[in-house]
Structure 1
């Protein structure tokens, strides 16, 4: 799975082996050379639909549970505007990456950094990918740690945690990591995870359907007699259960980082591109556009119906809000289980780019070796498990990761790679595409500075922050 170089030529979509126009964009190393240079020892075998599943699963993350809370702090219209902007910018960012890959014949993020800035660029890209994806994996395993004990407890008919080892989240994440995540992470090709990706997405679709269904079964404001644990004001303001279209408060500033983190999939784009059958830039861009559109729809509907269910009562984690209404609700229990399956099956997909980044730094010229493949996967899972077990709350750590790695992967790196990699004889430095790419990178720096400033201000003032992450 570790990717080094692109095939010397690619095939057009369904045109009987006719060389794709993308080949004309490659820098001519040896004119007339016919020998194919492969990333790996196999041709791209992953179907178009399976590639969409893989990329959609890479986009989808635990942040979907915090989007309703984000909408409650922006209002419906402002949230929609921000969501549209982030989705469009993410698609444009993928376009820049694919154009760079097509020009120089490289489909590995770290190698693009090497082509643009030499070894420092490769190391920087690899480090950013590693930090970001470790944060994402940690967020998934934190959901397993917090939610799986509740699911087991409900199945056993227990109303509270009685302290047995199988209700201890720290033990459960180790068992899940060894029994489910590690075997999937040991697969050689990312494309095979398309089957688990499809199942994972199905679980999140079930979550969305349940959120829509619950909208029509829960009244607002929630009355004390409807539950045991939630104490909400019976004297709620008149507009407490009215939808707001525009609103600004102390939590609004965190909406953009949450949304940006929710759309980060860029480290997975180039590996999926490599394994795509009949791979061309246009075909992969279509895969990306469909995946982003699908996740845009899921994010919007989940946020909208979650917000319209609880309005001012919505909490940073949407599932927690439902459980406080009725802890024994069977549908909510099923949704919990579905989300657990979804995030568990997403971890191996996120692990692949981290392993590739480690290989790019430590073993850049080594061929595939099962020993390294297995050892790196085990070490990564061990590190993430230690992090999740040791740190009681990594909300602020996720905030820093989301404010630094997300803008780097979406805005900064694709923009500066494009300016550096695309030859000036194709696009002069002052051409409109390169000016747009440079502005895109500057936007990322502005976004990063603003996000970090908001987080530091929040730490200093002691205000509670909104949850969510990729």
Structure 2
């Protein structure tokens, strides 16, 4: 498989650990098919439990169309990030062996970003300088905290429906301790088996939910929504769907792990189409079985009985095992800036802030839709278009002027949708 296989979870989209291609052998790199599967696995995580709610809130028509539109938007963003690489200056090694004079080498040297930063940060540095890197780091930090909070809220929601709950505050404190301990691992590769366990538990969970729905444990005679009933429902739909396709920040990571990195856009097309088709089955299918659901699909199971309780506990375990995939890189980002802060302090602070925020949210779905609308949408839809626009806007050729116009249009669309949906969900 790939060198990135250790990070194949629904949360790995946020990892920006720089992986030079020279560290991989040809056999260790992923084929196009393997990368397609890995991308689909990245998308399909615990957030899938909110898809039926998104279908209910957005209506069946918009849900079906929107899945493929948002998938296509992710393809566009990946394509723009790949195109940005062509505007990066040559490396110091390349410039040293050219036949040009020292004047050319020194000019290239002045354009090079700092060594050791992630490829996305290099692009931001070329586009906007050191300020661009700082802004990108800030956006990624917000994204980290947002998704960590959403999954804290998932633990509180799932555990709260079992006899083992200690109350929302008690559950939050227990989760804080467990995740702080788990996040003290030296690197996220130490938790690589969480991915396989998470996928198995997720498939079994959907099997249990579908079984209860088909067995008549749902309400009958409820009319299915074909269109959004309100602007709030539209915003809920948008946030959940965007959250479910968040692969854009991992573009360079997956590209560097491929045998044929030039095929990353084509692979993304296949992965987004496969993900959208899977989401149609999950979202529409479970909404038809549970038309009156008020939150995630797991909340529709009975609160008593061996299978419902075991299913909820399994999902709690999945979240507890996968959340460190976010906490560790988030802590490393902070520790890189504040080197005097110890590992325990940073991880405890991250877990404490996220836990406090999670307690304030009434339900997992509300937290997830807000994070999708605010954090994931900004990084996935606004950042790639803005970076590419900045890198191409000074070119005089007609083709580049056209690309710059398209980028600015997509950037403005992303900003408008992000601001409107965030405002609606917060009010």
TM-score range, shorter chain: 0.7 to 0.9
Q: Does 1:388 align with 2:355?
A: yes
Which residue of structure 1 aligns with residue 210 of structure 2? 212
Which residue of structure 2 aligns with residue 339 of structure 1? 315
Q: In the TM superposition, what is the alpha-carbon distance from 1:139 to its structure 2 partner?
A: 1.3
Contact 2:158 2:315 in 1 (8 A): no
Q: In the TM superposition, what is the alpha-carbon distance from 1:122 to its structure 2 partner?
A: 0.7
The alignment yields a C-alpha RMSD, in angstroms, of: 3.7
Q: In the TM superposition, what is the alpha-carbon distance from 1:80 to its structure 2 partner?
A: 0.5
Contact 2:243 2:376 in 1 (8 A): yes
Q: In the TM superposition, what is the alpha-carbon distance from 1:113 to its structure 2 partner?
A: 1.4
Which residue of structure 2 aligns with residue 296 of structure 1? 276
Match of 1:322 among 277, 287, 301: 301
- Alignment partner of 2:320: what SS? helix
Alignment length (residue pairs): 380
Which residue of structure 2 aligns with residue 22 of structure 1? none
Q: Deviation per CA, 1:61-100: give whole Å up to 9, x if none.
A: 5432222122112321221111111111012111211222
**Partners in 2 of 1:74 and 1:390 — Cα distance?**
26
Q: Does 1:143 align with 2:140?
A: no
Q: Deviation per CA, 1:4-58: give whole Å up to 9, x if none.
A: 8785xx7xxxxxxxxxxxxxxxxxxxxxxxxxxx6xxx33745347755654454
Which residue of structure 2 aligns with residue 133 of structure 1? 144
Q: Deviation per CA, 1:179-210: give whole Å up to 9, x if none.
A: 54443xx3266xx7654323322322222333
Match of 2:172 among 152, 170, 173: 170
Q: Which has the higher helix share?
A: 2
- Alignment partner of 1:47: what SS? coil
Q: In the TM superposition, what is the alpha-carbon distance from 1:441 to its structure 2 partner?
A: 0.9
Match of 1:84 among 63, 68, 74: 68
Contact 1:66 1:317 in 2 (8 A): yes
Distance 1:248 1:151, change over 3 A: closer
Match of 2:410 among 426, 437, 440: 440
Match of 2:248 among 266, 271, 274: 266
TM-score by length of structure 1 reads 0.68
**Partners in 1 of 2:245 and 2:298 — Cα distance?**
21
Which residue of structure 2 aligns with residue 234 of structure 1? none
Q: In the TM superposition, what is the alpha-carbon distance from 1:136 to its structure 2 partner?
A: 0.5
**Partners in 2 of 1:164 and 1:354 — Cα distance?**
28
Which residue of structure 1 aligns with residue 30 of structure 2? 47
Runs of 5+ consecutive residues of structure 2 not aligned to the other structure: 5-14, 90-116
**Partners in 2 of 1:352 and 1:46 — Cα distance?**
24
Matches within 5 A, 1:234-313: 240-254=221-235, 255-274=237-256, 276-278=257-259, 280-282=261-263, 284-311=264-291, 313=292
Distance 1:340 1:294, change over 3 A: farther
Which residue of structure 2 aligns with residue 96 of structure 1? 80
Q: In the TM superposition, what is the alpha-carbon distance from 1:380 to its structure 2 partner?
A: 3.8
Q: In the TM superposition, what is the alpha-carbon distance from 1:410 to its structure 2 partner?
A: 1.7
**Partners in 1 of 2:319 and 2:269 — Cα distance?**
22
TM-score by length of structure 2 reads 0.75
Contact 2:238 2:369 in 1 (8 A): no
Runs of 5+ consecutive residues of structure 1 not aligned to the other structure: 11-37, 154-160, 223-239, 364-370, 460-470
Contact 2:43 2:244 in 1 (8 A): yes
- Alignment partner of 1:439: what SS? helix
Distance 1:172 1:296, change over 3 A: farther
Distance 1:211 1:98, change over 3 A: farther
